[in-house]
Structure 1
Amino acid sequence: MLLLAFAALLLVVFAVARARQRAQLREGTLLVAAVVFAALGVLQLLVSSDPDAARTTIFVVAVAVPVILLVLAVFLITNGITMLRLEGRSLANLLSLLAGVGLLVFPFLLLALLAWGGLGGFLAAAGVVLVAGYAAAAFVAFLVSSLLYAALPVPRQPRAIVILGSGLIDGDVPPLLRGRLDRAIAAWRRASRAGGEAPVLVPSGGQGPDEPRPEGEAMAEYLRDQGVPGHLIRPETRSLNTRENLEFSRAIVDDIGAPGPPLVVTSDYHVLRAGLLARRRLPGARVVGARTAAYFVPSAFLREYVALLDRQRGLHVMFALVFGATLVSVYAAIFLV
């Protein structure tokens, strides 16, 4: 019952966090943890009240997990090949392929470490399981947090709409960036029809080393071509990353002075990280995502996940240790008590 009580507590904390309606990784972490502890609590009850049902449940899970991992590995490898074919060779485009290969290699690595024998082999295998388990749990929490943030209500009358740049191709707006601009135009038209003052659009992006002009300039040109009046477009052309997008756009947004929260438009996979960055750099902003081509999504989400891990390396090391200690404690609570 202790595990079920802890799951209920996590759900209460999740509800409190959800009520704040802001981008936060803790929402996904709390919800996933509550579901896991609830499942373990049910298993604990089965072990004590119906051992045969508990053994059957464990057997089904033990069979299902390798099958699911195999299917996921094949999917990721196939997606990785598609990414290389359509997007070219780069580390970011290799992520889904590497993840799929890693899933296939993982069981053989464990068998090799255990075959090594002795305490050293066992501890090495346990360490690999801990790191892989934590990485998988953190990724699921990241996905759930992204979905929860994307489901929050969108302001219908923002005072400004900031569009984050994503790179030009030969000085022109590519499909990925066009999706962001089209989503911003749709939000602008909806706000204009709702009455009141039409929001200002802030296309944000500087000039990269391989670009003939700033992204903000090309984005502004696209907006004008789609019928947005020029006086409602205020490009930001100095930023080189998401953090600078938000920081440099803030001065433009603050200068507008109209009521209502700012709206930030990016791609769907980038919503959570942009929302986390916006909390300090563009307070009150709500970030929304434009649809991305389906084949691009797995690698894009993996890239965002890696970026978030890298941003808080020390914190995740501490969480991984807590994760390992929790697994040992839960195992003892279910099978040794």
Structure 2
Amino acid sequence: MKLRRIAAWLCFVLAALIAAPFAVGFRSEGALAAIMFSVIGVLLFSPKWLNELTKKCRWVKTLLAVCCIFAVTVCWVVSAVMATAVVRGTSEEAKTLVVLGCQVKEGKPSEMLKRRLDAAVEYLGTHPECVVIVTGAQGSGEDMPEADVMYSYLIENGIAKERIFKESNAIRTSENIRFSAEIIKREELGNDVIIVTDAFHQYRAACFAKENGLFATPLSSGTPLFVFLIYWFREILAVLRMYILGY
């Protein structure tokens, strides 16, 4: 009973941690899925008084247990696969960086996008032979394309405009890579690329790069800890969607 109670509390704490960003207006389907499974975990490992309430529908609890075990297994497997893309080293052969866009606010990069751009600036500063592609369209609630904001930020931080290629039509990761691949082929930049994005995003980006004839290695920016779990769960769903729907 003590172990069950501890497990229930752990599930409750996990749900609370994942739900915390909602207090400041953050919304994500990944967070909702994670909270749902955490709540199911609380019910599965619930204390005796709640077990009494569910005694007459024990089959429901069994079904929930099976679903929860299946979901946890899938999450672990996909997480392990995602991690393989993160631990790969950055290729010194690659001369092209591709910075994947994300939310911009009032013409400025969000904290997550700023971290990606800062990682690119640092790398470009030590590799003057490299060029960079910034990719991202104008999303919902944004007043200008993400690529435009990224382009301006790089120039403000000392990157010569001659080293920057801008792609402002992509609205999802598959398009970020596909449209960037078109620029790479047009400019004859070679097939080796460095993808600059958050660690959780690297696996899916690498898969799309392979589909487009590119060999990608990662340059990962740090994800704010406040939202790391949410984005990781969301990316698990995105990877499953990629497997099933192809994008």
TM-score by length of 1: 0.64
| 2:56 corresponds to 1:116 | yes
**Equivalents in 1 of 2:225, 2:169: separation in Å?**
31
Task: Show the counterpart of 2:162.
Answer: 231
In structure 2, the CA distance between the partners of 1:153 and 1:311, relative to structure 1 (3 Å rule), is closer
Q: Quick check: 2:191–2:213 contact (8 Å CA) kept in 1?
A: no
Task: Show the counterpart of 2:219.
Answer: 288
Post-superposition Cα deviations, 1:45-77, rounded to whole Å, max 9, x if no partner, equal: xxxxxxxxxxxxxxxxx9657634532431331
**Equivalents in 2 of 1:157, 1:87: separation in Å?**
42
Task: Show the counterpart of 2:127.
Answer: 191
**Equivalents in 1 of 2:157, 2:165: separation in Å?**
15
Task: Show the counterpart of 1:178.
Answer: 114
Task: Show the counterpart of 1:56.
Answer: none
In structure 2, the CA distance between the partners of 1:130 and 1:92, relative to structure 1 (3 Å rule), is closer
> Alpha-carbon deviation of 1:208?
2.0
Q: Quick check: 2:88–2:218 contact (8 Å CA) kept in 1?
A: no
Q: Quick check: 2:151–2:164 contact (8 Å CA) kept in 1?
A: yes
> Alpha-carbon deviation of 1:224?
0.5
Secondary structure in 1 aligned to 2:108? Answer: coil
Tell me the C-alpha RMSD between the 2 structures: 2.8
Task: Show the counterpart of 2:80.
Answer: 144
The aligned amino acid for 2:73 is A
Post-superposition Cα deviations, 1:133-160, rounded to whole Å, max 9, x if no partner, equal: 1110111122222222211121124221
**Equivalents in 2 of 1:149, 1:190: separation in Å?**
23
**Equivalents in 2 of 1:64, 1:190: separation in Å?**
52
> Is there any run of 5+ residues in structure 2 with no aligned partner, and where?
none
In structure 2, the CA distance between the partners of 1:134 and 1:169, relative to structure 1 (3 Å rule), is same
| 2:210 corresponds to 1:308 | no
In structure 2, the CA distance between the partners of 1:242 and 1:235, relative to structure 1 (3 Å rule), is same
The aligned amino acid for 2:10 is V
Q: Quick check: 1:84–1:93 contact (8 Å CA) kept in 2?
A: no
Post-superposition Cα deviations, 1:265-286, rounded to whole Å, max 9, x if no partner, equal: 1112212222222220352122
Secondary structure in 2 aligned to 1:234? Answer: strand
Larger fraction in helix: 1
Task: Show the counterpart of 1:76.
Answer: 15
Identical pairs, percent: 20
In structure 2, the CA distance between the partners of 1:311 and 1:130, relative to structure 1 (3 Å rule), is farther
> Is there any run of 5+ residues in structure 1 with no aligned partner, and where?
1-61, 193-197, 315-337
Q: How does 1:1-337 map to 2 (within 5 A)?
A: 67-68=6-7, 70-81=9-20, 83-89=21-27, 91-108=29-46, 111=51, 115-116=55-56, 121-122=58-59, 124-192=60-128, 198-259=129-190, 261-312=192-243
Larger fraction in strand: 2
- Whichever of the two has the greater Rg, that structure is 1
The aligned amino acid for 2:201 is H
In structure 2, the CA distance between the partners of 1:91 and 1:150, relative to structure 1 (3 Å rule), is closer
> Alpha-carbon deviation of 1:99?
3.9
TM-score by length of 2: 0.85
How many residues matched? Answer: 243
**Equivalents in 2 of 1:127, 1:71: separation in Å?**
21
The aligned amino acid for 2:87 is A
Secondary structure in 2 aligned to 1:302? Answer: helix
> Alpha-carbon deviation of 1:114?
7.1
